[in-house]
């Protein structure tokens, strides 16, 4: 074990030189991706990072505070719509718009947090589920929000067009760098939040709300704060998502998306930032890429297609996609109930004590 010389070392971002080294290597790899990756791969990475932001935020709520939300697609939608509408209708610059949108989402998170003071477990889940569905339908039935047709994202201008200073990102590569930097920032914020007063209070509420109360934690404040923070993350994610997709309609933000968010953090590991990142990356990849080309797989591909067309529907492949996703999820839960982060902890422990 390393010798510690000051109390600060306990809360340092990079606890050892090894971690710092690997973080730098990882970041270098991320920053050089566009040099040799196709546009499609970058688009996929952008999606992954957007989902990373959302699941890091959702994990603060579900993993750390222990409050389940099946309505996060709602906050995600609020983020996307508010960013785009603020930019197109009020000509607000991108950065201000996305932050404002995230605060709007956070406000809705606060509102949704209020019933959480009275509701627990399945009852809270239903309340959040209703919220997610309601947001989708309100947006879908309001002309102002583009109705069922959806909205087109404006050009991604980082400058302030009113001052004649504009800096439009149009290529997939430039978007990639923007999303990457925001994702890194949001992840660092989450790590810090969980290490300081508020983060500890969240964990306290999860483990024992009675004890949390008698040591002076205001349940009302911290439960709603957790919802607000989590919604803020979803809002930022939504704002970026709008530009990654370029075009979106209300039904992009359906119930399945909310469930997928939950799946990401459960597969990755509840209550861990690294778990949210790996979970979001894995599930997004599985959903969008891996099983899309299953029919081209050697030998088994045509078999799968035949099976799918015979026993499921004619459009078969989408079904197969979800079945495979389900199987992976069941597999991970069966063999590693703590998610991928749990597996990582076990491997680390094994090597620490190796060869015993």
CB of 255 to other proteins, least distance (A): 29
Residue number with CB closer to other proteins (163 or 214)? 214
| Nearer CB in complex with other proteins: 135/229 | 229
Q: Which residues touch 134 (CB under 8 Å, ≥6 apart)? A: 74
DSSP structure string for 329-342: HHHHHHH-TTHHHH
Cα–Cα separations (whole angstroms), residue 121 to 69, 73, 116, 219, 274 = 10, 19, 9, 16, 25
Residue ranges of alpha helices (H) inside the chain are 8-11, 17-36, 39-59, 72-90, 94-116, 122-140, 172-195, 197-207, 209-214, 219-245, 255-268, 273-288, 300-311, 317-335, 339-353
In the bound complex, what is the minimum distance in angstroms from residue 158's beta carbon to other proteins? 22
Give the pair of three-digit tokens for residue 82: 């508010």
Cα–Cα distance between 67 and 220 in angstroms, integer?
13
Cβ closest to other proteins, residue 23 vs residue 196: 196
Least distance (Å) between residue 24 CB and other proteins: 16
CB 180 within 8 A of CB 31: yes
Phi, psi angles (nearest 5°) of residue 117: -70, -25
Query: Least distance (Å) from other proteins to the CB of residue 8?
Result: 5
* Nearest residue (CB) to other proteins, 23 versus 166: 23
**Beta carbon nearer to other proteins, 134 or 221:** 221
**In 10 A of CB 286, how many CB atoms?**
18
As measured in angstroms, the least distance from the Cβ of 206 to other proteins is: 8
6 vs 353 by CB, closer to other proteins: 6
| Helix, coil or strand: residue 12 | coil
Give least dist CB 177 to other proteins, A.
21
Asked if residues 245 and 172 have their Cβ atoms less than 8 Å apart, the reply is no
**Which of 13/330 has CB closer to other proteins?**
13
The nearer residue to other proteins, 64 or 258, going by C-beta atoms, is 64
- Footprint of other proteins on this chain (CB under 8 A)? 6-8, 10-11, 13, 188-190, 192-193, 195-201, 203-204, 206-208, 210-219, 225, 229, 271
Residue 248: name the closest of 97, 129, 73 by CA.
73
Packing angle, helices 273-288 and 317-335, rounded to 10: 150
**What's the min distance (Å) between Cβ of 259 and other proteins?**
25
Give the nearest distance from C-beta 57 to other proteins in angstroms: 12
């Amino acid at each position: 074990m390393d010798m510690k010389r000051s109390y600060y070392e306990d809360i340092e971002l990079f606890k050892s030189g090894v971690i710092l080294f690997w973080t730098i290597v990882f970041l270098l790899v991320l920053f050089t991706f566009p040099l040799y990756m196709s546009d499609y791969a970058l688009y996929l990475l952008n999606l992954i990072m957007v989902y990373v932001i959302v699941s890091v935020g959702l994990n603060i709520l579900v993993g750390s505070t222990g409050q389940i939300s099946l309505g996060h697609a709602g906050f995600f939608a609020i983020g996307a719509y508010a960013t785009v509408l603020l930019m197109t209708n009020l000509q607000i610059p991108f950065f201000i718009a996305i932050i404002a949108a995230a605060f709007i989402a956070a406000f809705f998170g606060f509102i949704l947090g209020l019933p959480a003071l009275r509701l627990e477990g399945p009852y809270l889940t239903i309340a959040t589920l209703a919220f997610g569905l309601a947001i989708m339908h309100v947006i879908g039935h309001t002309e102002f929000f583009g109705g069922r047709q959806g909205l087109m994202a404006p050009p991604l201008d980082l400058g302030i067009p009113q001052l004649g200073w504009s800096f439009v990102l149009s290529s997939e590569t430039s978007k990639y760098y923007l999303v990457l930097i925001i994702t890194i920032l949001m992840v660092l914020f989450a790590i810090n939040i969980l290490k300081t007063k508020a983060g500890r209070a969240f964990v306290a509420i999860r483990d024992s709300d009675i004890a949390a109360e008698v040591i002076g934690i205001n349940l009302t404040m911290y439960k709603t704060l957790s919802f607000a923070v989590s919604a803020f993350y979803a809002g930022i994610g939504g704002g970026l998502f709008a530009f990654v997709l370029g075009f979106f309609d209300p039904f992009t933000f359906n119930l399945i998306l909310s469930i997928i968010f939950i799946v990401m953090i459960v597969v990755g590991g509840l209550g861990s930032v690294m778990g949210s990142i790996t979970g979001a990356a894995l599930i997004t990849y599985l959903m969008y890429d891996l099983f899309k080309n299953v029919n081209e797989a050697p030998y088994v591909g045509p078999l799968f297609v035949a099976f799918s067309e015979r026993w499921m529907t004619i459009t078969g492949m989408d079904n197969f996609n979800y079945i495979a996703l389900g199987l992976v999820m069941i597999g991970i839960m069966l063999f590693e109930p703590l998610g991928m982060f749990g597996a990582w902890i076990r491997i680390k422990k094994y090597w620490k004590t190796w060869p015993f």
